[in-house]
Structure 1
Amino acid sequence: MPSSSLPTTTVISKCPVFPDQKSTMSDLKLSVSDLPMLSCHYIQKGCLFPRPNLHTDSLLSLLKNGLSRTLSLFPPFAGRFKTDTQGYIYITCNDAGADFVYATAANIHIRDILSPLHVPESVKGFFSLDSTVSYQGHFKPLLLVQLTILADGIFIGCSVNHAVVDGTSFWNFFNTFAEVCRIGARRITRSPDFRRESVLISSAVLNIPEGGPKVTFNADAPIKERIFSFSRESIQKLKAETNGRKWIDFVVGGEIDVAELMGKISNDSNIKLWNETISKSDISSFQSLCALLWKAITKARKFPSEKMTTFRMAVNCRQRLEPKLEAYYFGNAIQSIPTYVSAGDVVNRDLRWCAEQLNKNVLAHGDLTVRRCIEDWERDPRCFPLGNFDGGMITMGSSPRFPMFDNDFGWGKPLAIRSGRANKFDGKISAFPGREGSGTVDLEVVLAPETMAGLESDPEFMQYVTGY
């Protein structure tokens, strides 16, 4: 392909956007869940849409005005970090503004993003603040929104400081931004809770090294990235296998409908079916999917049996703490749950056994465990060591429960969710809901090239992938 036809993104303009109302919010102290993220890159995620029936100037005006109104509802995103004399770090809601970038990619079509087997490098151009570490929020915007106009579509990407929000808060902001653009409302569906009154707010001080913290992984290591899609039927088959049950297809000649069955299960702790008992203690669909991925990636990495592997899952602590945090508590409220198992056990034991190891750790992570993790951090305040340090790690982030497709700016829901370069390394997995909803899941899988090739050639894994 000649250089003139290579897919490129060209930045046309960049400008600050300020809240349309002056902030009256007090400084927000970073919590024990926020501070470890200071060494992470900014979150980079966004939505692909068909081209709306709007002139470019009208589209830019809509998004900028909508962002300005949304910043008034989320004042921290228009602020900056500050560190006081005692070493505590705060978000000061000083109306310094967020940035808005307008870019074009006239030679990139929607099919160029959705059709390739692996996520194309061109997607990375839809985001700004590449390689920006969250600590730099002391002097850089905490939020940047980029509109990229494609040949036949648009991409709206957000780069957000990870020490300000986790995935729950990020998508609440994105949903609100879309809602404000669509209907212009100031009273929104899901109001964030900015209170700083929980056990997450600590007197411990994180000592910052000279020059600020750095990411703890090699961002230049070669990787391959692919979206693996799983249909609802495929996931239910996988869950049935994990739980040791025979899968029976949808209603045919009097067979029970699966959707009806799952609805009944949610209201009844025990249901007799196929001469078995299904209960709420079953291995979940998502844990089944994680176990499948763990086995396949470990097999592809070709480890000796004694090699220790780690499957690390991020969990939302909002509902695990007592008293519970508000569902839309603004900030980070996540902890990382590691599960350690030898490669031999992962590969040679069955799917249920692997899923049970994950299940036990997730179930055990209640209020007492959350508080123990907080106390452990307070004894030794540190940034989160993100990466694959021994070659045997898998890190699962994001969630198929996040409302990623609930982003209608006025021209319908997104065609796809994509992310930028941020926080990607061999073994980093992100879970997205599928566009079809109803329990479909997309996994954004990032692996070393040779491991990705092994995963793609594994029939035990690929049999569950949609379109394989």
Structure 2
Amino acid sequence: MPSSSSSTTNSVNIISKCTVYPHTNSTTKSLQLSVSDLPMLSCQYIQKGVLLSQPPSNTNIISLLKLSLSKTLSHFPPLAGRLSTDSSGHVHIICNDSGVEFLHATATHLHTHQILHLNTDVHPCFKTFFAFDKTLSYAGHHQPIAAVQVTELADGLFIGCTVNHAVVDGTSFWNFFNTFAEITKGCQKVTNLPNFSRENVFISPVVLPLPTNGPSATFSGDEPLRERIIHFSRDAILKLKFRANNPLRKPQNSDLNDTEIYGKVCNDVNGKVNGVTFKPKSEISSFQSLCAHLWRAVTRARKFNDTKTTTFRMAVNCRHRLDQKVDPLYFGNLIQSIPTVASVGELLSHDLSWAANELHQNVVAHDNVMVRQGVKEWENNPKLFPLGNFDGAMITMGSSPRFPMYNNDFGWGRPMVVRSGKANKFDGKISAFPGREGDGSIDLEVVLAPETMSCVECDDEFMQYVS
């Protein structure tokens, strides 16, 4: 039932709170958590949202969003369910139509131009635009699996979705978000219906031992942090890719300004451009090149001695990596984490191409055999995912520039920006977003200790590629 209040939380005034139920009853009854879902029980809920322009004045936007959310939940019944652990210790999503939390809030003292600065610290208001702060996914046993907070600004609207990380990964999260927008816009047929099959190698009989009262977070979340959105244009990323794939050839100034040449570097296979032979595009990707660039810059800024070990951890989608491919719209987590390890001396004494190749080789090697090996290793030693920066020298890359984050037209235009909340942030946590331009540009949400961020900002080798 709805409830109303006028309480102010930081810069947000919560107007009302209610439960939204699926428009139709679920025919899906129970889904077992997989080997990829279970480790996320100690992670906080995913918090991602979009900033939109002001909706048409003749629209009752809150009623419209509640109705479309209800219709969306009919296609995503697990999000309206709850977690349940059976007598044998297996954890399931019970699709019992318990509903999701919906909050209506206002922050009408804020204008969009005040909070949209790129390449500076993220405005703190975004952290107030989401529900379930610091809530671990295990809490889905007694709390809603998802929540939507709609915050009205002076000249815009922020729609923030918070979803249990043991129930969804980024692929499933954005399919839900895209569908929510699609239905709000008035589409009568859902483009990408989720697949709830549980027939793959990640569905295991192995039980994850859990404390009676549930797990604790694996990072403190109390350390001082700075958070920036750092934008890399398509041209800048193509230059980095050129450097990664051509370590012995120094580009000429004329090359650096020739987008067509860099485009061919990405797309040609052993082709020649202006008499220069380029390597196959399968060698090192644009994103791996950018990750290597960031890894080296953050490691320089942390000022460890050469013998210190540094780790760059990337999450990879396993849906297409199995020999019997899993449906791309499989609902749930189907990800594994790939660590790439080097000594500080190794990483910084070599050039960008060395670091990029280390990342690339690990990603390429993560094939069907490696995915199944990872499942088997977890079954032999079931444990929660160790999220955090335990030795001070780690970087964890999450999200993906391939996610359709800007495919969210709720009926009055695409998002201005995508932002996240407080969840799962620590020194060295990076999230990759596609640039709004949709042309191959990338925004990195970079979270670092304040002193490390200051050093990165003064690093000419890094900042020369920042747009």
> SS where residue 105 of structure 2 aligns?
strand
Q: Which residue of 1 aligns with 2:98?
A: 96
* Paired residues for 1:441-460 under 5 Å: 441-460=442-461
AA in 2 matched with 1:293: L
Change (3 A) 1:292 1:194: same
Change (3 A) 1:247 1:26: farther
- Structure 1 residue 61 displacement after superposition: 1.0
Task: Report the Cα distance in structure 1 between the residues aligned to 2:160 and 2:452, rounded to whole angstroms.
Answer: 29
Task: Report the Cα distance in structure 2 between the residues aligned to 1:458 and 1:260, rounded to whole angstroms.
Answer: 27
Task: Report the Cα distance in structure 1 between the residues aligned to 2:245 and 2:255, rounded to whole angstroms.
Answer: 18
Task: Report the Cα distance in structure 2 between the residues aligned to 1:249 and 1:33, rounded to whole angstroms.
Answer: 47
* Paired residues for 1:168-207 under 5 Å: 168-185=171-188, 187-207=189-209
Task: Report the Cα distance in structure 1 between the residues aligned to 2:452 and 2:223, rounded to whole angstroms.
Answer: 13
Task: Report the Cα distance in structure 2 between the residues aligned to 1:113 and 1:249, rounded to whole angstroms.
Answer: 37
What do residues 350-388 of structure 1 show as CA deviations (whole Å, max 9, x unaligned)?
000011110110000000000000000001111100000
Task: Report the Cα distance in structure 2 between the residues aligned to 1:65 and 1:91, rounded to whole angstroms.
Answer: 24
Do structure 1's residue 150 and structure 2's residue 137 form an aligned pair?
Answer: no
Q: Which residue of 2 aligns with 1:230?
A: 232
AA in 1 matched with 2:175: N
- Structure 1 residue 262 displacement after superposition: 6.2
Q: Which residue of 2 aligns with 1:360?
A: 361
Check whether the contact 1:17–1:97 (CA below 8 A) recurs between aligned residues. yes
Check whether the contact 2:41–2:136 (CA below 8 A) recurs between aligned residues. yes
Task: Report the Cα distance in structure 2 between the residues aligned to 1:251 and 1:221, rounded to whole angstroms.
Answer: 40
Q: Which residue of 1 aligns with 2:70?
A: 68
Q: Which residue of 2 aligns with 1:22?
A: 25
Q: Which residue of 1 aligns with 2:45?
A: 42
> SS where residue 175 of structure 1 aligns?
helix
- Structure 1 residue 237 displacement after superposition: 1.0
| Counterpart among 77, 80, 87 of residue 78 in structure 1 | 80
* Paired residues for 1:44-443 under 5 Å: 44-55=47-58, 58-115=60-117, 117-185=120-188, 187-244=189-246, 245=249, 246=251, 257-258=260-261, 261=264, 264-265=267-268, 269-273=269-273, 274-443=275-444
- Structure 1 residue 132 displacement after superposition: 0.4
Check whether the contact 2:235–2:259 (CA below 8 A) recurs between aligned residues. no
Change (3 A) 1:232 1:45: same
Change (3 A) 1:174 1:250: farther
Structure 2 residues not aligned, in runs of 5+: 1-7
What do residues 101-156 of structure 1 show as CA deviations (whole Å, max 9, x unaligned)?
00000111112221272012111000010010000000100010010001111100
Check whether the contact 1:71–1:78 (CA below 8 A) recurs between aligned residues. yes
Q: Which residue of 1 aligns with 2:3?
A: none
Task: Report the Cα distance in structure 2 between the residues aligned to 1:28 and 1:223, rounded to whole angstroms.
Answer: 37
Check whether the contact 1:223–1:425 (CA below 8 A) recurs between aligned residues. yes
AA in 1 matched with 2:446: V
> SS where residue 225 of structure 1 aligns?
strand
Task: Report the Cα distance in structure 2 between the residues aligned to 1:90 and 1:258, rounded to whole angstroms.
Answer: 52
Task: Report the Cα distance in structure 2 between the residues aligned to 1:192 and 1:248, rounded to whole angstroms.
Answer: 48
What do residues 410-467 of structure 1 show as CA deviations (whole Å, max 9, x unaligned)?
011000010000000000000000000110000000000000001111000000001x
Task: Report the Cα distance in structure 1 between the residues aligned to 2:158 and 2:108, rounded to whole angstroms.
Answer: 12
Check whether the contact 1:176–1:190 (CA below 8 A) recurs between aligned residues. yes
> SS where residue 278 of structure 1 aligns?
coil
Check whether the contact 1:39–1:215 (CA below 8 A) recurs between aligned residues. yes
Residues 236-245 or 84-93, more deviating: 236-245
Do structure 1's residue 9 and structure 2's residue 5 form an aligned pair?
Answer: no
Check whether the contact 1:66–1:184 (CA below 8 A) recurs between aligned residues. no
Structure 1 residues not aligned, in runs of 5+: none
Check whether the contact 1:225–1:446 (CA below 8 A) recurs between aligned residues. yes
Task: Report the Cα distance in structure 2 between the residues aligned to 1:333 and 1:106, rounded to whole angstroms.
Answer: 39
Check whether the contact 1:249–1:258 (CA below 8 A) recurs between aligned residues. no
Change (3 A) 1:112 1:288: same
Check whether the contact 1:240–1:247 (CA below 8 A) recurs between aligned residues. no
Aligned residues: 455
> SS where residue 90 of structure 1 aligns?
strand
Check whether the contact 2:235–2:262 (CA below 8 A) recurs between aligned residues. no
Check whether the contact 1:7–1:108 (CA below 8 A) recurs between aligned residues. no
- Structure 1 residue 259 displacement after superposition: 7.8
TM-score, normalisation: structure 1: 0.94
> SS where residue 272 of structure 2 aligns?
strand
- Structure 1 residue 6 displacement after superposition: 11
Change (3 A) 1:125 1:288: same
Check whether the contact 1:49–1:415 (CA below 8 A) recurs between aligned residues. yes
What do residues 282-304 of structure 1 show as CA deviations (whole Å, max 9, x unaligned)?
31110010000000000000000
> SS where residue 63 of structure 1 aligns?
helix
Q: Which residue of 1 aligns with 2:4?
A: none
Change (3 A) 1:452 1:263: closer
> SS where residue 203 of structure 1 aligns?
coil
AA in 2 matched with 1:237: K
AA in 2 matched with 1:190: N
What's the % identity of the aligned pairs?
56
- Structure 1 residue 258 displacement after superposition: 4.4
Cα RMSD after superposing both structures: 1.8
TM-score, normalisation: structure 2: 0.94
